[in-house]
Each structure stands twice: as C-alpha cells, then as structure tokens.
A and B are shown apart, each in its own frame.
Chain A
Amino acid sequence: MLEWLLKYPLDWYLTGKLGLTWSWYQYLLAVAAVIMLLLWVAGYRRLHRGTLVFAPRVLLVAVMMLSMAQPLLVVEVPEPVAGHIAVLLDDSLSMRIRDASGTSRADRLAALFGAGPESLAGKLEEKFETRYFRFGEGFRTHAPAESLNHVDARSELGGALLRVAAGHEAAALAGVVIVGDGGALPDSADRERLEAALVRLKAAEIPVQVISLGDIYPERDVALDFLRFPRRVMVRDGFDLEIGMVQRGFEGRSVRLVIEGDGIILERRTLTLPSDDEQMLLRHRLSFSEAGRRLISVRIDPLDGEILTQNNQLNRSIEVTDQPIRVLHFEGEPRFEVKFVRRAVTEDPVIRLHSLVRTADNKYYRIGIGDPSELAGGFPDDGTELFKYHVLILGSVESRLLTSGQQSAIRDFVGRRGGGLLLLGGRGAYAEGGHTGSLLAELMPVVPVEPFEPFNREIAPRLTEAGLIDPLLDFGPAEARQALFRQLPPLTVTNPLRQAKPGATVLLQGADRHGEPLILLATQRYGRGRVVSFPVRDSWRWQMHAKIPLADQTHENLWRRLLRDLGRDAGGRVRLMLQETESTPGSSVTVAAQVLNRAYGPLPQASVRLAVTTPLGEVRHLPMTPYLGEPGRYRAKFIPRETGRYDITVELMEKDEPAARAVGFLDVSGMGREFHGTAPGHGLLQRVAVETGGRLLSPATAQSLPNLMDAARSERRISRRLPLWDAPLLLLAMLALVCTEWALRRARKLA
C-alpha cells in the first residue's frame, strides 16, 4: 500500500535522493506565483475574515506547484535483466584426453551440459536465456541435443570470443561461459582475435565465466612440448635443436629419443626421465652438408602404460640454403690478413670472398672477382655497386681514403640493406686511421680513443660472459669455448679500444700492461644490419703459430662463422614475413612481405605476387595487396587444404618479369598442436576470466555458476531518475485538500 502511494519502494526514498527538474525561468514563474498567491490571500482574508478556510487552498496550490515542478527520485538500482547467456563449448581434439580412470575432458563436458534438470545446463536455462555455441576449428551454433565430435585439430578460442562479442551489438549479451581445456591458441592470428574480443567484452562490461576442464591430465604420459630450431640455416652451419619434454608417472624410467632428418635416423639417445611435470630441455647439434628443405622429426618411443601417445612426436621443416654470401674485403695496404682470410673461407661453399687491396697509391689489386669490371674503379662510390655484397670487411683503411659519399654508402649498406660490417685493426683503422668523428665511427660498436697514442701489445683473448653464449663464437658449450680461447696465442693490438657503445656486446677482451681491459671483439646492431669490431691486426696467428697444430680449424671456423653470421640479415629486395611455420588444413594463412627498391627503401605501389606450391605440386598465384599506412608492405591470404609442406614464394614483378623474390615454407599438419602442451591451460583461461570480471571454475565448482552469474548481474547497477509528479500520494493529497476546504466552507456556511 505504502509503495503504491509512494509509487516506488520506501527503501528507494531512504537510499536515493530527491530533486526537481525545473530550469531558471520555471523558478521565476514560481516566485511570481507565490507573490500573487500571497496578494490573493491578503485580499481573501479581508473578505472572509479568517485563516482556517484559506489554508487548504494555499496548501493545494503548493502541492500543485510541487507537482508542476516535476519532482524526481534519483536511485542506484540493479540493471534489469536483458539479453542472453552465450555458452561456448570446446569441440577440439584435445578434449579426448583421459585421466587414469578413463574419464576424458569431453566426458566431463557432457556430464555438465547433458540433459536433465540436475545438469548445469538445466540450472542455467532456468534463470537465463541460454544460447550454445561450439568452437574448435571455426565457430557455429550448437543445439543442446546435438553431440560434440571433438575432432578439430585447432582450438580457435580467440575467434569464437570475438564472434560472440561482435554479436553482442545485434543481440544483447548478458554473459559468456567458456567450457574447455584452454589449450594453446593455434596461431598469432587467433591471439590477435582474442585480444580484440577482450577489448570489446571489457568495454561492454560482459563477464566471461570459465569452466576449465584442463584439470584432467594424463596420469601417465611422456610428451614432447616443443621443438625449436632456426627456420633457415646455411649448409654446414651447425645449429641446435631444442627439444622440450615433460612427463608424468614415469619418473626415473628410461626412454629412447630418436631424431630423424627426412626419415633418416640422425641420433638415438636414451634418457632418464625427470620428476613429474618438470620440464626437460635437450639440445642436439646438427648440420646439413647439402642444400634443400628437410623435415626434422623427433619422437619418443611409447612407454608401457602411457595413456596418450599422440604427443610423442613432433615434426618441423627447415630450409638449408647454399645461397652465396658475397663478401667484399677492402684493405688500404697489402696485409697478411687478406691471405689468411681467403685461406680460411676458400672451401666454404657459401662464402664468396672478393678482395680489394690498395697495393700502391691509386693502384688496386682485385682477387676473387666475378667479372673484369667488378671493382675496376676501386672501392664502390655508391650503393649501387656496394649493395651487391652482403658483408663488408674494412681492414687498414684510413678515413681519408673513403669519400663522404662512400662512407654514406657504407652506412646505408648496413642500416638499410641489412649488410654486415666487420672492422679490423691496423694502422689505417680506428683512431690511428683518423676515424674518430667520421661517419664510419657512428657505425662502430666501440668508441675510438682520442688522442691516439702509439700502442703495440700482444693481447691474450678472454671470453666475456656474453662471449660464452653468443652464437658468433659458437665453438661448442661454454666450458669448451673457455678452454679453447685460453690456449689460443695472443694477437697484436695496435688500436686500443676501451669503451663499448651503449647497446654493444663485448664478446672477447684482453688487458693492457696495467690490467685495464681492452676490447678484442664487440658487436652491435645498426639499422637492419650488424657491425662487428675485431681490432686486431693479425688474426692469422691463430692459423700460423708454433702453438697451433696444422689440423686445428679454429681460425677457419672463426672466420666462416663471422662472415656467415654477418651475412645472415642481408636479404634481398623482397623479405618474407611468415608469422607461422605451422598450420592446419582449412585455416587461413596470412603471408606478408616487405618490398624494397634498389636503394633498399620501401617500394610502394609495386606489383607483388604470391606463389603457393601445394604438397600435391599444384601452383597457385595470388596478388598481394599493400598495407594501408605501411609503404612497401604487402600481404595475401590463402587457405591450405591438404596436409604437408607448402612452398611459398613472393615475387616482385617488374615489366612482367620477377625482379626479386623470397621463399619460405609452411608445414600443414592435421593434428596441429592439440596434444602437445597437454598440461592444464589455466593461464590463458584465467586471464580471460580475470580481465572481464568473471571467475575460473573447475568442474567441481561449476554448479555455482548460475548463482555466480546472478550475483554478477546484481552487482551491475545503474542510476535512474524516477518521476514523482504522478505519485498517488500527491494526487490524494490534492484531493484531500480540496475536500477539506469544501468541508470548512460548509461548516462556516460559506458554500
């Protein structure tokens, strides 16, 4: 009754605020009305001689004016129920993983969302309008009566959430429930979709509740977690395979690991398994002596009683290239370094060494040139000729020997073309050669000492902490490196360098006679390329010395490693950017490429095409479209249909002919990574729940979901301005005042 009179609950009056909606002119009118009322009352009193009769009328006018002022009640109230609940069910392959009792993640899901009033689905449907969706490889609506297949090789959670969040605008969404195991997202595209979905859900304040079924973990399982190695290596380049594995239930047992390259066994290793859930990291050194694409497989022989064997093998491809690295070695004077560097790399199948030696003023001797015109005018005057090389070695070259144009070309060679620059010691190098303050000094990873004072000392090299692990000095494990460099003879230093630039890494150092450190090998990136300082004048002593046996290969290996490493980033005018090396059939793959002009600047509005060779040998050509706002970047998408290796070629077309190209590959597997990384995926799911204001539940606590969603809903309050002018109490008050006045008038015989 009271609520009917007040129009709203009494509590709202106690917690809310009252107000009026008048503007200034309405207040002005009210004041005028009050004045007129007072004048009228004064006249009324004279006529009727009494105050009792006019009091109800005054009050009536006051109540009417209050009503006209449109009084408001401002209250914070729970948001009214609107929209539906979206329940996303994981339909991927990994849901088939079973625990020791034989219960799979899919079984748990079926138990929670099966038929019957006691099921979680029933309880949710009692309170909410519930819509079901399945996600895996793709996303679609799901009828509760329909059973899930759990055959999809991908869990595209990001895509599913984004679809739900985007659909919120069309159909109001009150909440989201994810039911799945939270395996790793299949690719970076899905990670991007997940980020976009989270932004939308947070903006709309839609909580995502998560029921993680990942707590079902195989009790007895040995799993390969990952297999890592460079996507591309050069022939005879040693590289490490990194193999991650975990186990549960087989602690202390022996297991056999097999590494294969194109089906040929490269390594067999027997391992003792660590304790449960402890990740084991294995390394295996590998190299290939012939170019081509190789499929590297790592597998563990299944153990007795192992529940899940699908995660015992990982396959990945690698490209072994013999694409030449063209190296220009320029010396301002004849030096034995020329001879010994040539000697060190002459049998390398990848390195093509072109030497240019200034033998007299204005006289150059060219060695290893390809045609008579190469370097005929001495050191290249501009980038056109210099950019033909991948690595530049500058030995004893005085600053005045290089024009400012040539120094600019060297800077662009490193910064834009991505070439490698190696700076040796000598009387024409660093401060002694007048390089302090030169354009070349800008590139150096070290600061040349000024003023230069003659210096000559044999320095024993010592590896720094960085040198122990840097791939540039890849002479085996840290201990082996340390031992090797301890026994190498000292080298002559005449360019003392003591200060590395910020961002540079010192790999080798020695000490002067005062024990002060001297830099012997330092490196830093510059733009797209890399610069190495090796300020010694006779690295050849590591080849020709009484302490060095004839069979020793340290000098050869050092130089091959230096030049290969420096040439690695000097790509061509088309640079392929494949975000993924693995995919699954039916998933969209984006291929991006950076295309450069002949000066290695961005090339917009070029004709760029993508050629995809399927595992069946079919070649498809697709045009690549430019990215908006990123000149020189192009992309195209394709969807692989078969499993196997896809060869990808991006070509820059000029006059209908390929002017430059880049190649890559993509491994398409039907299994994907669904069974790898089978540990509970709480990390990802928890993040989704926390960021959107939801909760992470286990199957055991999932029954609290309906109440939780109710509570979450009741926590969401909105501010409401409620009109009071038509409250029954006001109308009754006016009626009562009219009646009172009429009664008084009758009593005084005025009516």
Chain B
Amino acid sequence: MPGMLLTVLLAAGAFADAADTDPRHPVESTRPHEFYFTRGIYGGRFEDEDWGPRWAVDYPKADQQFLVALKRLSRVDAPASEHALELSAPELLDYPFLYMLEVGALSLDEEQAQALRHYLLAGGFLVIDDFWGDWDWGNFEMQMARVFPEFDIVEIPLDHPVFHAFYDISEVLQVPNVHQASGGPTHEQGGRIPYVRGIFDNRGRLMVLINWNTDLGDAWEWADAPYYPLRYSTYAYQMGINFVIYAMTH
C-alpha cells in the first residue's frame, strides 16, 4: 500500500515545486525550509564522460522524487528541488543533512577531509549510498580514515532508533540498481550482503550512516518506472525518510 501511494505521488507531484530554489534566504518575503536534501559534491577517480561525475549519479531525479515522497508522507518542511554543495563550501554547515553516493571512487583532498570532519563533529549527518563490493569498501574506508582516524566503522543493529524513527524496519534489504531490478541477482561487484554501518563519535552519536551493497538512490529514481519492483522502492523510501527524521531529531 505505501508503495502504490508512492507511485501515484511521484507521477502526480514530481517537479511541481521545482522553481523553488535552494538558498535558505532567497528574499525576505520567502520563508526558508527546515530541511534541504543536500548532496555532497566531491572530486573522484574514474570520472566517466558518459555517466558524468560520480557524485551526481541519479542526480537530480532521485533527489527530487525522494523529496516528493518525504513532503507528502511526513510533515518535514522541505523544498521540492535538489540541492548540491561542494564538501569544502563554508555554507555546507548551514545544512545539517548530507547525502553522498558512489563513494567507491571517493577521493578527498585534505581540505575536503577536514571540512567533512568539522561538519560531522559540529552536528552534521552524512548518509552514504550506492557503493558495492570490497574494492569500493576499501577505498571508502581509507577515505573515512583520513576524516576520522580515531573512529571505527561499526555495524548498526536493527534495534537502533534510525530503523524506527518513522517506519519500523525489521530487515535490511539489498536494493538493486535499475538494470538488475527486473530479475536475477541483485548484487554488484561481489557485494552480496547488504549492510547498514555507521561511524559514531566519542559520545555515541551517529554521524555517518553507510548503506553498503545497496542502491537506495536508484530505487528513488526509478520508483515511477513500472518495471522497478515495488518492494525495493518502498523499502528505499522508508529507509530514506527514517534517515531524515533521525537526522533531524538525534
């Protein structure tokens, strides 16, 4: 049922509010939103001319469709449009929620690593998505070790509040990309088991939420496609909304 609702929503409401631009203070007569779905722009290896920069995979459609569902299903006050910022941009600190994906190719320079560290320790929340297999993991782990040499990446158990902030999630699913959604194996690059892991600060606060061996962004992007399985898109939206509610309240 929630999945059907999502499909209808996306068909009817996508891009309806796209003219609403991203700055928090556009004009005095326009109220800023509480939440901005901010995508982190980073320079990475293996940039592809056909697919564009790795940070922008699924961009902007996935972001826009996720925001439509977020606004319709919850009371989160958010714009309908995408919002992307460089990791080292000072104004990144105005947006305490950050989404990054394809981090298997992530390559942070020192300035970006320090900016990300400051952002997260000051209270920012980072959601990582869409990277697969051991090679991607190894790169990501190495990059995050530059950001937080003192913190380990740990498993997040299913009884953690992030799985229950809005929807009760009882199982971690592997969400396939759009090419593998219509049947056959759902994994890529040998990443057969999906994981939700995190980096906690020294006070036990979750700063980075890592979705490994899964692709929530593709499910958001292709939820309006009739061939994309409802089971996966429903799960992806539920997880995404949980992340947002959790990020705004913890």
Bound Cα distance A359, B77 (Å): 10
Contact A342 B249 (CB under 8 A): yes
8 closest A-B pairs by beta carbon, nearest first, are A546-B90, A333-B75, A544-B122, A334-B248, A544-B123, A454-B29, A338-B249, A360-B74
With A338-B248, A359-B74, A365-B166 already in contact, the answer to whether A543 and B122 are too (CB < 8 A) is yes
Q: How distant is A273 from chain B, measured CB to nearest CB, in Å? A: 48
What 19 new A-B contacts, CB under 8 Å, besides A332-B75, A458-B25, A541-B94? A334-B74, A334-B245, A334-B249, A338-B248, A343-B123, A357-B249, A360-B166, A361-B75, A363-B166, A365-B165, A365-B245, A453-B29, A454-B31, A456-B29, A456-B31, A457-B25, A544-B124, A545-B94, A546-B91
Bound Cα distance A87, B212 (Å): 96
Contact A334 B34 (CB under 8 A): yes
Please give me the residue from chain A that is nearest to B244 by CB atom.
A334
Please give me the residue from chain B that is nearest to A367 by CB atom.
B249
A-B contact pairs, 15 of them (CB 8 A): A332-B75, A333-B76, A334-B248, A336-B35, A339-B123, A339-B247, A339-B250, A359-B75, A359-B245, A360-B166, A361-B75, A457-B28, A537-B32, A537-B34, A540-B96
With A339-B248, A357-B249 already in contact, the answer to whether A346 and B203 are too (CB < 8 A) is yes
Q: Report which B residues bind A (CB closer than 8 A).
A: 24-25, 27-32, 34-35, 73-77, 90-91, 93-94, 96, 118-119, 121-124, 161, 165-166, 203, 205, 244-245, 247-250
With A359-B245, A540-B123 already in contact, the answer to whether A546 and B93 are too (CB < 8 A) is yes
- The residues of A that contact B77 with a CB separation of less than 8 Å are 333, 427
- The residues of A that contact B35 with a CB separation of less than 8 Å are 334, 336
Which of A335, A361, A453 lies at the interface centre, i.e. has the most chain B CB atoms within 10 A of its CB?
A335
Interface assignment of A494: CB less than 8 Å from any CB of chain B? yes
Contact A427 B123 (CB under 8 A): no
Interface assignment of A548: CB less than 8 Å from any CB of chain B? yes
Main secondary structure of the interface of B (DSSP, over half): loop
Q: How distant is A405 from chain B, measured CB to nearest CB, in Å? A: 23
With A334-B34, A335-B34 already in contact, the answer to whether A513 and B28 are too (CB < 8 A) is yes
Q: Report which A residues bind B (CB closer than 8 A).
A: 332-336, 338-340, 342-343, 346-347, 355, 357-361, 363, 365, 367, 427, 453-458, 492, 494, 513, 537, 540-541, 543-546, 548, 550
Please give me the residue from chain A that is nearest to B122 by CB atom.
A544
- The residues of A that contact B32 with a CB separation of less than 8 Å are 456, 492, 494, 537
Contact B34 A339 (CB under 8 A): no
Contact residue among A358, A453, A544 (Cβ-Cβ distance under 8 Å from B93) = A544
Contact B96 A336 (CB under 8 A): yes
Contact residue among B96, B161, B245, B249 (Cβ-Cβ distance under 8 Å from A544) = B96
Which of A358, A367, A456, A537 lies at the interface centre, i.e. has the most chain B CB atoms within 10 A of its CB?
A456
Contact A494 B31 (CB under 8 A): yes
Contact A358 B75 (CB under 8 A): yes
Bound Cα distance A339, B205 (Å): 11
Bound Cα distance A355, B27 (Å): 32
- The residues of A that contact B73 with a CB separation of less than 8 Å are 360
Please give me the residue from chain A that is nearest to B30 by CB atom.
A456
Bound Cα distance A673, B245 (Å): 60
- The residues of A that contact B28 with a CB separation of less than 8 Å are 454-457, 513
Contact B31 A335 (CB under 8 A): no
Bound Cα distance A454, B30 (Å): 6
Bound Cα distance A343, B75 (Å): 22
Q: How distant is A459 from chain B, measured CB to nearest CB, in Å? A: 11
- The residues of A that contact B122 with a CB separation of less than 8 Å are 543-545, 548, 550
Contact residue among B30, B93, B121 (Cβ-Cβ distance under 8 Å from A545) = B93
- The residues of B that contact A544 with a CB separation of less than 8 Å are 93, 96, 119, 122-124
Contact residue among B75, B90, B118, B203 (Cβ-Cβ distance under 8 Å from A334) = B75
- The residues of B that contact A427 with a CB separation of less than 8 Å are 31, 77
Q: How distant is A496 from chain B, measured CB to nearest CB, in Å? A: 10
Contact residue among A355, A360, A541, A545 (Cβ-Cβ distance under 8 Å from B249) = A355
- The residues of A that contact B74 with a CB separation of less than 8 Å are 334, 359-360
Bound Cα distance A494, B35 (Å): 15
Q: How distant is A269 from chain B, measured CB to nearest CB, in Å? A: 36
Bound Cα distance A252, B234 (Å): 81
Bound Cα distance A359, B249 (Å): 10
Contact B205 A343 (CB under 8 A): yes
Please give me the residue from chain A that is nearest to B204 by CB atom.
A346
With A338-B248, A513-B28 already in contact, the answer to whether A360 and B75 are too (CB < 8 A) is yes
Bound Cα distance A492, B77 (Å): 16
Please give me the residue from chain A that is nearest to B248 by CB atom.
A334
- The residues of A that contact B93 with a CB separation of less than 8 Å are 544-546
Bound Cα distance A537, B250 (Å): 17
Please give me the residue from chain B that is nearest to A455 by CB atom.
B28
Contact A367 B250 (CB under 8 A): yes
Q: How distant is A554 from chain B, measured CB to nearest CB, in Å? A: 13
- The residues of A that contact B91 with a CB separation of less than 8 Å are 546
Please give me the residue from chain B that is nearest to A454 by CB atom.
B29
Bound Cα distance A457, B27 (Å): 8
Which of A492, A537, A541, A544 lies at the interface centre, i.e. has the most chain B CB atoms within 10 A of its CB?
A544
Please give me the residue from chain A that is nearest to B118 by CB atom.
A550
- The residues of B that contact A357 with a CB separation of less than 8 Å are 245, 249
Contact A455 B29 (CB under 8 A): yes
Q: How distant is B237 from chain A, measured CB to nearest CB, in Å? A: 13
With A359-B74, A427-B31 already in contact, the answer to whether A342 and B244 are too (CB < 8 A) is no
Contact B249 A492 (CB under 8 A): no
Q: How distant is B125 from chain A, measured CB to nearest CB, in Å? A: 8
Contact A342 B94 (CB under 8 A): no
Bound Cα distance A343, B249 (Å): 9
Q: How distant is B194 from chain A, measured CB to nearest CB, in Å? A: 25
Bound Cα distance A328, B29 (Å): 32
Please give me the residue from chain B that is nearest to A341 by CB atom.
B249
Which of B35, B96, B247 lies at the interface centre, i.e. has the most chain A CB atoms within 10 A of its CB?
B96
Q: How distant is B107 from chain A, measured CB to nearest CB, in Å? A: 24
Please give me the residue from chain B that is nearest to A329 by CB atom.
B249
Contact residue among A332, A336, A457, A543 (Cβ-Cβ distance under 8 Å from B248) = A336
Bound Cα distance A453, B29 (Å): 8
